[in-house]
Amino acid sequence: MTFARSLIFLLLQLIWTPIYATFSLFTFPFDPHTRYRIISGLAYSMMWLLRVVCDIRMEVRGKENIPQQPCIVLCKHQSAWETFALQTVFPPQVWVLKRELLLLPFFGWGLALTSPIAINRSKGKEAMKQLLAQGRQRLAAGFCVVIFPEGTRMAHGTRGKYKTGGALLGESTGALVVPVAHNAGRHWGRNAFFKHPGTITMSIGTPIDPKGLKADEINRRAEEWIEAEMERMQ
């Protein structure tokens, strides 16, 4: 049954994503927030398909911790699930991502219209300057900035090195930093075909106020909370 459900989901995803992404291309005349509201409809449709086809549901804990103002979201990265789920939980957002994703047919084209911060990871200091400059601009424009501090998808139960880009953005702008943990990898693993039924828990931590804190301390607090929460979810 899991195989059949996973196959049906994949086929529907392959059909629906190009259709929706092509439709999204016509949103370019609109302002960034209007474009985002329209394009994020793909995330809602994917979450619906996961629920109906694969019987994967979502439980959100700590939703009251989401700030009223634009914030920086530091999220655990385990699968494609969180890229959809975050859009249905947090206010309008932009992602920090590798620029190669924008070259993907259909998905990347639509993604490019959501005002992402697309960096070249090989550039080092130049990429960090871009993150800080564009991150400040996106926050000022009313968007949350979503960053996966481990930089890549990690298998469930594993832990990567937390990079300081999001914490540096918090230190330089004063924007609240919100840690997010989840156990999506249990049900939809990294680059996995199988989607196992069940409930994925997303846990949102108390915002970290960066006032008076250095980036290393902000990063340490976020990492400690996320990883401790991951342990509780085991």
State the CATH number of the domain containing residue 214. Answer: 3.40.1130
51-to-178, 198, 200, 201 alpha-carbon distances in Å = 26, 9, 11, 14
Residue-number span of the structural domain to which 25 is assigned: 2-233
* Cα dist from 41 to 35, 66, 182, whole Å: 10, 21, 22
What tokens does 215 get?
Answer: 């980036």
- State pTM to two decimals: 0.95
pLDDT of residue 77: 94
Confidence (pLDDT) at 9:
97
Q: How far apart are CA 3 and CA 229, in angstroms?
A: 30
Q: Find tokens 């620029």 and name the residue.
A: 99
What's the structural domain count of the chain? 1
Residue 109 neighbours by CB under 8 Å, 6+ apart:
21, 24, 25, 102
Structure tokens at 2: 């899991």
Which among 206, 120, 133, 116 has a CA at the least distance from the CA of 168? 133
Residue 130 is predicted with a pLDDT of 95
| Single-letter amino acid, residue 201 | T
Residue 97 has pLDDT above 80, yes or no: yes
Q: Is 90 exceeded by the pLDDT of residue 163?
A: yes
Helix locations, the chain, DSSP H: 2-24, 32-39, 41-54, 81-89, 107-112, 125-140, 165-173, 215-233
| Residue 171, Cβ density class (10 Å: 0-12 exposed, 13-18 middle, ≥19 buried) | buried
* Cβ–Cβ < 8 Å for 74, 180: yes
Instruction: Give CA angle at 164 (213, 215), nearest 5°.
Output: 10
Q: How many CA atoms lie within 13 A of 119 on its CB side?
A: 23
Model confidence band, residue 6 (pLDDT cutoffs 50, 70, 90):
very high
Residue 124 pLDDT: 80
